[in-house]
Structure 1
Amino acid sequence: MYSCKYPPLRFNAPCLLAPGLLLFNRLRCRSCSAPIMGSMAAQISDDLDGDLSKVVPTTIMMVALTSVFLGSLFLCMGAFRITFIANYVPYPVIAGFLSGIGLQLMNNGLHMSSPLVFTRQVFTLQQLLLLFPALSFVTLARVAQHRNWAVALSFPSILIVSFVSFHIVTFVCGVSTEELQTNGWIFEWSAPLVAQSPMWHPWTSIDFGLIEWGVLAREGVRFTVPLVILGAIKYSVAATSLSTVFSRDISADNEMKVVGWANLLCGALGSCGGCHYLPAMGIMKQIAGHEKVPALVCSTLLLLLWVTGIQMLELVPKFIFGGLLLSVGMKFLDSFFTAPLKFLKPAEIAVLGFITSSFLVIGMLESVALGTLISMIELLYHIHQVGCIYLEATGAAKQSTMVRSPEELMALQIRGGAIFILRLQGFLVFGTSAKIVKRIERCVQSLEPGRVRFVVLDFELVPNVDARAVLNLRKVLALTDQFDFDVYLCGLTPQIETRLTHNHTDSSRVHFQLKDFDSALRTRILESESRAGDSQERRRMHQQLRTFKSQIDELKSNLQRSQLMDGSQQRQQANDPNDELGRIDDHLGDAQGIIARTEATAQNVDETREDTSEAGLHLKKLKCKMFSQIVLLYLVILGLVIVIIWRVISKFA
């Protein structure tokens, strides 16, 4: 569990500093906040000139305070519901994050089985023998998965059979524990390391008077910003990934609050905090278990480690851990790398492969930060594609449900082409708001002078604007005198109106405080247009109005004539009662046929209901049987764990 690709640190120090050995190894092997805490530990060591009597207690306190700080941060994120930021991370980035975890798990599984797996020495007989059981474990797990065996039974069975078979073979062959450690079959932990491995050991071994609080405060302030940014991003993505793992909606805010309390507890107990163990979540998904089960199992194991240390893991062969990591890693790759290739676009596939490969090349936190940067670039690109203009039209083409007077309709028909309408949408930012200025400039410049007399900007779908958008909108207002048109701003929220009118020079061509688009047309444009214009335009408008009224009268007379003709046809049809009786007989026959079909349908529904109830009883029996099998299996596992603990205690007693 504590093996690492880095060599362990060696101290020529008294027994007081022995817990630092285990602590530094943990810091160098963790993948969450370890890079930042490792940098803080290195800087503390430099500031104290390598004096281990002060470095170790200061570093232990740094780890505890960092866990408490992160726990408080995550509690605030969950309480104020700001974890939703991770929801804006695209699916290829989330899938790359999860498949990268799978790739890293496979890499760790191979390294755990054989430390020389990626070297030329792996082709020796001894190293191949170390790899063979782990690969066999993965093969059996994959066969069970493809044959759709009950994972709740097959997976624990493989674990138990592997453990029992290993110890039977070693007992028959007479191999000692020292030989197993030397040959790499089990973990090679020294007796002092095992004795000092309980997580409570640092609190009881350090001298709090040797802690350099000034150095600790200075380095804490220095690394606060990267710790907050990287920690919040990584943990938010991990919490949001649970919905992807279990294919259903899981509240990331609640999960962040739970993680916050867990980190506070870890800091109080003197150990490193953590986040969701996604591989354990993958195992629960694989065996159709509840997502809270990994938390309970991991909490129990961590409590045992905190009390007893790592001595209970000495008898477990390394290939079981390696095979388990390989199996879960391959499951992650199947679910979040291979499966998405079937429906993702080529650009999204490239992002998925890039994020996945970056896990092994640059590390987990760096790949999450890189994925966040890619998400921001993609979000800006999509915002640029969508734009802020929801609708672009003229007064003649824009339809409305408002009832208008004949004069207003005539004004729209005659003057509608001079009204340019832009209905805006979304949050107006620096990039999208520039399109408004360009579109209005292009419109007023492309047409003949004086053609566009009114520009209507509808803000009904705009929640807010930024400072650059305010400047761009003021550019539009400045164009009114240059191109001789009026601007009507309608649907403004009080916040947007305040920002636009602040330090703005009043102009008779700029009109605020309009409720909506229809009010702008009716109260400010159509009424003035219907009363405006020269005498020739008014005569033409009234002539068209009289023509319109005569057409309405003609339509009314045609409607009355058609109604009279329909009445005479009905009277003629009433004189033929035999035809009416024949139609009634036909309708009666159709009704009887419908009744017969309805009765047959009701009978089928009753039979279906009976079949459903029988199927429900059968499913309940199957559920009870499966539950009893699982309970029996876990009782067997519990018995084996008790035997192992008894053997360990009896061995070291």
Structure 2
Amino acid sequence: MSKFEFKPKLFLDLRGYNKEKLTADIMAGLIVGIVALPLAIAFGIASGVTPEKGIITAIIAGLAVSLFGGSRVQIGGPTGAFIVIIYGIIQQYGEAGLLVATVMAGVFLILLGVFHLGTIIKYIPYPIVVGFTSGIAVTIFTTQIKDLFGLTIDNVPADFIEKWIVYIRHFGSLDVWSTVVGIVSVAIIALSPKLTHKIPGSLIAIIVMTVGVYLMKQYGIATQVETIGDRFMIKAELPGMNVPELNWESIKQLMAPAITIAILGAIESLLSATVADGVIGDHHDSNQELVGQGIANILSPIFGGIPATGAIARTMTNINNGGRTPVAGIVHAVVLLLIFLLLMPLAQYIPMACLAGVLVIVSYNMSGWRTFRELLRNPKSDVAVLLITFFLTVIFDLTVAIEFGLVLACLLFIKRVMETTEVNLFKDEIIPTDADGTVISEEHLHIPDHTEVYEINGPYFFGIANRFEEVVLQTKEQPKVRIIRMRKVPFIDSTGIHNLTNLCEMSHREGVHIILSGVNPKVHEALKKSGFYELLGKKNICDNIHTALEVARHYLNR
């Protein structure tokens, strides 16, 4: 494995930086900063923390990702995917537990990047990604029902099913004006792209509904519509550093939530960077991106923020408005900082129903229902992974869903590999073919009497080793020579070596001679290191089937 080199994209892009790029990045950063504002507030509140924590996260994490990340256009910050996780951690461990778990996740992300595991994250099965993303979307939507309709509920249960039972019981407490604000907000966000692509619909909805509700309250109308100021004390000041106290007990307790944050953060950030690459024709450094995300998740909680990752919507906004270097992301963070220090007190007038409407649209866009529907047409195994991950995410939590989904996907992968790996037995003759199975000679190879040739086509690992042993033991007549043809075996694991060793020892006791044919270099090295060749003897390791048959004839004619 090559040594990791710390090379953020920002350092590379500054070498040929010019006025034109700066102008484009400033404009893009300004627009992305404005777009990020309502989302940061909404994500903060929905996650169970104060609205300023959402903005602080967008500032600190957005700055860190742009400074140290491996993508030119990635915009970091709080995202909808983390809402469910953060809320659950706070409910169980408090904000102090969230602080420790986020810092731990940041360390894990850095280690993933340093040890070049960025590319491995990309191989998480697509049905799992779609399953938990859609599940999170449904969960986010569910959490917004109370505020969207202004329901009077003292304590909303954390459990998905119990939550809906409570909603149904209390639906009679629906507030008409809150419902109007929520539905109109959804309509504005949904319809605004038809009028303008420059100003985000969420910002238009927040401005219009905030002004509208404020004026109505002044005239004694809709006084019961709850605003951010009714629920939170708004502070337009940056918090001091809060370094967590780490001890072994808290580390053990928060290991699972930290791993969940790290995995989800890695998946979402690399997915966002990959989508961005396709648009701008670039290639991000996945390992450097994970290091940047790790630094962001260490700094964010220390300065009062929450977990963050690459945000696809904001990254695409950056690209669409001309951003092409990490400077745009830095500008976006500065814009948010200025808004936070100068205009944050105005956030107290934003209606909660309007923010609920923003998150309803976020959950809809996040659901990917069209992709979900298309995956239902795939093989049953993929559908099973998709549905199980989805329902576990909705009914239980994302940690359980990812763990179970990955285990199920791995088991199904092993099953598929086993199904593609073949074990063929030849007793009379062999038709010469190349590695792809194409016939290369019309002359058939004659197999000597009392000789069997077994050809393994595929990986020789724990899933197939037992099957090969069963095929060997099923032969009715005991041969004097067994040739194991391994030219199509790309790798062998310890279980395969163990079973092969047992087969050779058993064959020797029964007076059966074993010969290996066509072992590739990787498998050859693995067998050599295990000491297998000392058991078999160098002369019985042949380069091809022709030599193996000659060795068999020589042994039989002794």
TM-score, normalised to structure 1, is 0.58
Q: Give the equivalent residue in structure 2 for 1:236.
A: 266
Question: What is the letter of the counterpart of residue 367 of structure 1?
Answer: A
Report matched runs for 1:179-328 at 5 Å. 183-189=224-230, 193-195=233-235, 198-201=237-240, 216-223=246-253, 225-227=255-257, 229-242=259-272, 248=278, 252-277=286-311, 280=314, 299-300=333-334, 303=337, 307=341, 310-328=344-362
Question: What is the letter of the counterpart of residue 496 of structure 1?
Answer: A
Q: Give the equivalent residue in structure 1 for 2:11.
A: none
Deviation at 1:395, TM superposition (A): 6.6
| Counterpart among 425, 431, 434 of residue 398 in structure 1 | 431
- Give the direction of change, closer, same or farther, for the CA distance of 1:32–1:283 in structure 2 (3 Å limit): farther
What CA deviation, in whole Å up to 9, does each residue of 1:248-286 have, x standing for no partner? 587643432221121233245354342234665688899
Distance 1:296 1:519 in 2: 66
Asked if 1:456 corresponds to 2:489, the answer is no
Q: Give the equivalent residue in structure 2 for 1:104.
A: 139
Deviation at 1:234, TM superposition (A): 2.8
Question: What is the letter of the counterpart of residue 228 of structure 2?
Answer: F
Distance 1:286 1:135 in 2: 28
Report matched runs for 1:21-36 at 5 Å. 31-32=84-85, 35=88
Count of matched residue positions in the alignment of Structure 1 and Structure 2 = 459
Residues 89 and 98 in structure 2, CA contact (< 8 A), matched pair in contact too: no
| Counterpart among 116, 129, 141 of residue 177 in structure 2 | 129
| Counterpart among 512, 517, 523 of residue 485 in structure 1 | 512
- Give the direction of change, closer, same or farther, for the CA distance of 1:438–1:458 in structure 2 (3 Å limit): same
Residues 106 and 262 in structure 2, CA contact (< 8 A), matched pair in contact too: no
Report matched runs for 1:504-519 at 5 Å. 506=535, 511-519=539-547
Distance 2:325 2:196 in 1: 16
- Give the direction of change, closer, same or farther, for the CA distance of 1:487–1:323 in structure 2 (3 Å limit): same
Q: CA RMSD in A?
A: 4.6
Distance 1:339 1:483 in 2: 57
In structure 1, the gaps of 5 or more residues are 9-28, 43-58, 403-408, 534-653
Distance 1:268 1:482 in 2: 67
Distance 1:128 1:292 in 2: 45
Deviation at 1:396, TM superposition (A): 1.7
State the secondary structure of the residue aligned to 1:421. strand
- Give the direction of change, closer, same or farther, for the CA distance of 1:150–1:41 in structure 2 (3 Å limit): closer
Deviation at 1:95, TM superposition (A): 0.8
Q: Give the equivalent residue in structure 2 for 1:422.
A: 455
Question: What is the letter of the counterpart of residue 514 of structure 2?
Answer: V
Residues 96 and 337 in structure 1, CA contact (< 8 A), matched pair in contact too: no
Asked if 1:412 corresponds to 2:456, the answer is no
Distance 1:361 1:7 in 2: 23
What CA deviation, in whole Å up to 9, does each residue of 1:7-47 have, x standing for no partner? 99xxxxxxxxxxxxxxxxxxxx95446655765559xxxxx
- Give the direction of change, closer, same or farther, for the CA distance of 1:101–1:166 in structure 2 (3 Å limit): same
Asked if 1:72 corresponds to 2:87, the answer is no
What CA deviation, in whole Å up to 9, does each residue of 1:46-103 have, x standing for no partner? xxxxxxxxxxxxx4xx765654443232122123221344334322211112212322
Q: Give the equivalent residue in structure 1 for 2:122.
A: 87
What CA deviation, in whole Å up to 9, does each residue of 1:99-149 have, x standing for no partner? 12322332244333235282444445x62321223223434555677xxx4
- Give the direction of change, closer, same or farther, for the CA distance of 1:329–1:361 in structure 2 (3 Å limit): same
In terms of fraction of residues, the more helix-rich structure is: 1
Q: Percent identity between the aligned chains?
A: 14
What CA deviation, in whole Å up to 9, does each residue of 1:516-549 have, x standing for no partner? 4444345x246777xx49xxxxxxxxxxxxxxxx
Deviation at 1:456, TM superposition (A): 2.4
Deviation at 1:314, TM superposition (A): 1.8
Q: Give the equivalent residue in structure 2 for 1:167.
A: 211
- Give the direction of change, closer, same or farther, for the CA distance of 1:138–1:6 in structure 2 (3 Å limit): closer
State the secondary structure of the residue aligned to 2:287. helix
Q: Give the equivalent residue in structure 2 for 1:12.
A: none
- Give the direction of change, closer, same or farther, for the CA distance of 1:425–1:528 in structure 2 (3 Å limit): same
- Give the direction of change, closer, same or farther, for the CA distance of 1:151–1:247 in structure 2 (3 Å limit): farther
| Counterpart among 518, 531, 539 of residue 501 in structure 1 | 531
State the secondary structure of the residue aligned to 1:422. strand
Q: Give the equivalent residue in structure 1 for 2:496.
A: 469
Deviation at 1:184, TM superposition (A): 2.7
Give the greater-gyration-radius structure (CA).
1
Residues 113 and 287 in structure 2, CA contact (< 8 A), matched pair in contact too: yes
Distance 1:109 1:284 in 2: 28
Q: Give the equivalent residue in structure 2 for 1:367.
A: 401
State the secondary structure of the residue aligned to 2:310. coil
Residues 280 and 294 in structure 1, CA contact (< 8 A), matched pair in contact too: no
Question: What is the letter of the counterpart of residue 127 of structure 1?
Answer: D
Residues 37 and 63 in structure 1, CA contact (< 8 A), matched pair in contact too: yes
Distance 1:85 1:136 in 2: 43
Residues 428 and 447 in structure 2, CA contact (< 8 A), matched pair in contact too: no
Q: Give the equivalent residue in structure 1 for 2:420.
A: 386
Q: Give the equivalent residue in structure 1 for 2:17.
A: none
Distance 1:393 1:240 in 2: 48
Residues 128 and 389 in structure 2, CA contact (< 8 A), matched pair in contact too: yes
Question: What is the letter of the counterpart of residue 98 of structure 1?
Answer: T
Deviation at 1:433, TM superposition (A): 0.8
